[in-house]
Structure 1
Amino acid sequence: MQIQKDQDECAVANGGCTHQCLDLPMGFMCACPSGMRLLRDNQCEEIDPCLEHDLCDQLCVSTRVGGSGCGCNAGYQLGPGAGQCRANGVTARLLLSTSEDVRSITVSGRADRDRTMRTTSPGAMATCVATNTLYWAPQAKGSIFRVSMDTSPWTPVLVLRGLGSVSALAVDWIHRQLYWSDQQNGSVTVGALDGPEPRPIIGGLQRPTALAVEPFLGLLFWAESGIFPKIRRAGLDGQDVVTLVASSISNPVAISLDVPRQLLFWADRGARSVSRVDLAGRHRKTVLKSNGYMDQLSGLAVFEGQVYWSDGGSRSVCSRDKHNGSSFRVLLQTSTPPGALVVTHPLLQPTGVRVVPQSPAVEVLPDATFAWILSLIVFLCALLLGLMACWWWRVEWRPPRTLQLQTVLHKESQDPLLHGAPLAPHTGTVKETLFKVDPDTD
């Protein structure tokens, strides 16, 4: 009995493979060309040597022999270890929210006893380094407070209330905007730091749990932990939504940007792990897995070469190497389960050229371009007026031979104006209105 070969699955839509499809005696398989790897059985992704070796804290340049060279951004200097970057200036601080207080510790675990605020519940947090201000939203209170970290003790001042259930905060320090997510309404809202009249920009979310912004690229990131958990991205105005992670994700509770490497990290409480992707959702990697201190993840922060997290199960704040999970440390033990975690340092919020969030229907032109277009419009208008004046002079002062000839000439003299003259484009002034409300008003 002769066994016949089954059908060639690669003959139909390339077997669903994005690149190479290999027909086998029984079934088929997808393959990738050199320099790419196979993901999810049928998709190929380019291999980034820098992320593959994962040795550099910040800048990485691939070499022809397959290696990589490391460097640091301005404000950092190379550390003693390979690829390490250490921040210059003040020591970075970790801000931690618990059901007893909001406290500050250094990244080495030393407590700042004069930097604390008594609370009755944990809450979401975000900071504005330029004004040394902490924004804090106590859990299930529907309010947002601001706290000047220059005073002692810290004293909260009400900014907004009646907001539903605020689950996360993020500060855009370039455009001076405050973003917050609301689990009750499934939305993301934005308002000005110095007095918001809030406006919702994203709705229909399934239990939003975390927010982050990258104002230089004009990007907003968030996590949802509903029936279909995911991590998504949009513009700062909430437009152009893109899903970055939607598979092999259980309960994302916190996200943090590693801006120098253009990576996004997330803490998955269901998977008891920390993973990362680039800002386009590629080059996914699980960097930390539970070792008994990640069973109830709640907060996450990335700075220099470390990942910091808070865990309710072990009631601790810990850190590990962001590349491979080595160098585990317990920085702090708490008497109650810790909540949100934020790292603050001037280099995490540098100043620079603003990226203006734009709607697809509105284009904000550079000043030079706008001036050139305006000059062109003025020139075309002057040319049109000149042609009209010339036509009027010819009609009024040239004596017609007969009434019939005058009518013909009059019709023909208008044709260039009706059909041949260029039309001046319509322009308008786009004005961005910033809302202002006294944040101290109840």
Structure 2
Amino acid sequence: MGYECVCPDGFHLINRTHCEDVDECADADRCTQICINLPGSFRCDCEDGFELDHMTKDCKAVTGSGAFLLFSTRHEVRKMELGSRTYTALIRRQKNVVALDVDVHNNTIFWSDMSLKKIYSAAAADPAHPSTVIDSRISRPEGLAVDWIHGNIYWTDGELRTVSVATVDGSKRKTLVSEGLHNPRAIVVDPQRSFLFWTDWGEPARIERSGLNGADRTALVTDHIAWPNGVTLDVLSGRLYWVDSKLHTLSSISVNGAGRHTLIQDQHTLPHPMALAVFQEKVFWTDVSNNGIWSASRVTGRDVAAVVEHLQWPEDIVLYHSLRQPSGRDWCRDAELNGGCEFLCLPAPQTNTLSPKYTCACPDHLTLAADMRTCVSGNNAEQDPVSSPSQHPMVLYITLLIGQ
């Protein structure tokens, strides 16, 4: 009656007669870190500092000190060794700690207190003596992220509807994004690629991306999203993870907006998740309805397990390990002191080979002069070319010359 062609495992039939290799690595979650496509098969590998477990195919950290979790419970910041179920209070007697982040290489913890309307920092070795970083023109700082390469912090303000940036000591600051925001919440940085990501509870809800200088703003996620609470980045795989407390989901997407996956969708597992962190093969999250911290496979969403329970209002969570913050080049420091900028030197997003390495920025009441480095007074401060590059076609060309 005829014939039928079939292919061996790892190949698929094309034109009814020919076998073509299946690219298993097209699935971004095929391996936890590196996927190498082979004829009819594939192989997983790991980045420097990690070693492949040949039984589980997971990458385990083999360099750096032991990993631990930092999490906030409104009045305290607590520390828990990874793999342990006991924790200690690291920072006590706080009013309402909401957001957390760390600079691992400088061993510094940053946090925001929404009741006091301030952002603080402290050495992890001496958390009892904090420094005030930001204490003015701030109202509801619900998200906080540290750029560990360029020495800046970024935060969202849900009441002022802004995304801002400042040096880690708070001496220089700027409102980076102020238009089109409704209720910005969580925020995370990718200083190696010079990108910034944040969630917005507005109508419609979304996850947005821009450069660390506010340029090239774009929406990454706009559908099937309602209350995006927490967002985090796995730097090694280049994937964003977020939790949605209305849809009861935990999802991931590439930093370019491709390959979206819903890992968990369950009202009992995720009744009201707040924040999350990733490390090695696991994703960790806090949940204020389940009153605890939970974990699951960051590839499949399976193997859900309680990390610690019976907490009072667990909010933010951070994974502390040196491999979570790989080193990178600081163009603002390499080019010349502060990139030749009078005020702030901010990394520019690397969207193509012609992208400038950085641009200069001025405080909110000033604007850039014609030399694109110094700051002058003017009536067009709101139209800062760093914040709105698309409105100033000459800016990218001039900053390109400066950056390179």
TM-score strictly above 0.5: yes
Q: 1:161 to 1:350 in 2, by over 3 A?
A: same
What's the CA shift string for 1:116-161, capped at 9, x where partnerless?
A: 433232311110011111101012432101021112x533321111
Report the secondary structure of 1:261's partner residue. Answer: coil
The match for 2:134 among 142, 160, 175 is: 160
The alpha carbon displacement at 1:431 in A equals: 7.4
The alpha carbon displacement at 1:71 in A equals: 0.6
Give the letter aligned to residue 69 of structure 2: L
Alignment of 1:260 onto 2:236: yes
Quick one: distance in 1 between partners of 2:134 and 2:49?
35
The match for 2:149 among 162, 174, 190 is: 174
The alpha carbon displacement at 1:110 in A equals: 3.6
Other-structure match for 1:188? 163
Q: For structure 1, which segment, 305-314 or 285-294, has the greater mean C-alpha deviation from structure 2 after superposition?
A: 285-294
Quick one: distance in 2 between partners of 1:210 and 1:299?
8
The match for 1:208 among 178, 184, 197 is: 184
Quick one: distance in 2 between partners of 1:325 and 1:227?
28
Unaligned runs of 5+ in 2: 1-12, 15-21, 333-346, 359-397
Quick one: distance in 2 between partners of 1:48 and 1:169?
38
Other-structure match for 1:218? 194
Report the secondary structure of 2:92's partner residue. Answer: strand
Quick one: distance in 2 between partners of 1:106 and 1:276?
25
Quick one: distance in 1 between partners of 2:288 and 2:190?
28
Give the letter aligned to residue 255 of structure 2: L
The alpha carbon displacement at 1:208 in A equals: 0.6
Give the letter aligned to residue 138 of structure 1: D
Other-structure match for 1:26? none
Q: 1:51 to 1:300 in 2, by over 3 A?
A: farther
What's the CA shift string for 1:141-189, capped at 9, x where partnerless?
A: 32101021112x5333211112121111111111101111111111111
Q: 1:299 to 1:190 in 2, by over 3 A?
A: same
Alignment of 1:245 onto 2:188: no
What's the CA shift string for 1:214-246, capped at 9, x where partnerless?
A: 111111111111111001111110010111110
Q: 1:95 to 1:363 in 2, by over 3 A?
A: closer
Give the letter aligned to residue 240 of structure 1: D
Q: 1:325 to 1:363 in 2, by over 3 A?
A: closer
The alpha carbon displacement at 1:364 in A equals: 5.8
The alpha carbon displacement at 1:329 in A equals: 1.5
Contact in 2 for aligned 1:100/1:336 (Cα 8 Å): no
The match for 1:336 among 295, 303, 312 is: 312
Quick one: distance in 1 between partners of 2:158 and 2:175?
13
Give the letter aligned to residue 276 of structure 2: L
Other-structure match for 1:62? 37
Other-structure match for 1:369? none
Contact in 1 for aligned 2:331/2:357 (Cα 8 Å): no
1:109-128 maps to which residues of 2 (within 5 A)?
A: 109-113=84-88, 115-128=90-103
1:25-174 maps to which residues of 2 (within 5 A)?
A: 49-50=24-25, 52=27, 54-65=29-40, 67-88=41-62, 89-113=64-88, 115-151=90-126, 154-162=128-136, 163-174=138-149
More helix by share: 1
Q: For structure 1, which segment, 72-81 or 175-184, has the greater mean C-alpha deviation from structure 2 after superposition?
A: 72-81
TM-score (norm 2): 0.74
Aligned length: 326
Give the letter aligned to residue 271 of structure 2: D
Q: 1:53 to 1:200 in 2, by over 3 A?
A: closer
Unaligned runs of 5+ in 1: 1-33, 36-46, 366-426, 433-442
Q: For structure 1, which segment, 229-238 or 195-204, has the greater mean C-alpha deviation from structure 2 after superposition?
A: 195-204
Give the letter aligned to residue 231 of structure 2: I
Contact in 1 for aligned 2:114/2:139 (Cα 8 Å): no
Q: 1:185 to 1:53 in 2, by over 3 A?
A: closer
The alpha carbon displacement at 1:430 in A equals: 7.8
Report the secondary structure of 1:111's partner residue. Answer: coil
Contact in 1 for aligned 2:67/2:319 (Cα 8 Å): yes
Give the letter aligned to residue 73 of structure 1: E
Quick one: distance in 2 between partners of 1:260 and 1:428?
29
Identity among equivalent pairs (%): 28
The alpha carbon displacement at 1:201 in A equals: 1.0
Structure 1 or 2, whichever has the larger Rg, is: 1
Structure 1 vs Structure 2 CA RMSD:
2.8
Give the letter aligned to residue 88 of structure 2: R
Contact in 2 for aligned 1:168/1:181 (Cα 8 Å): yes
Give the letter aligned to residue 257 of structure 1: L
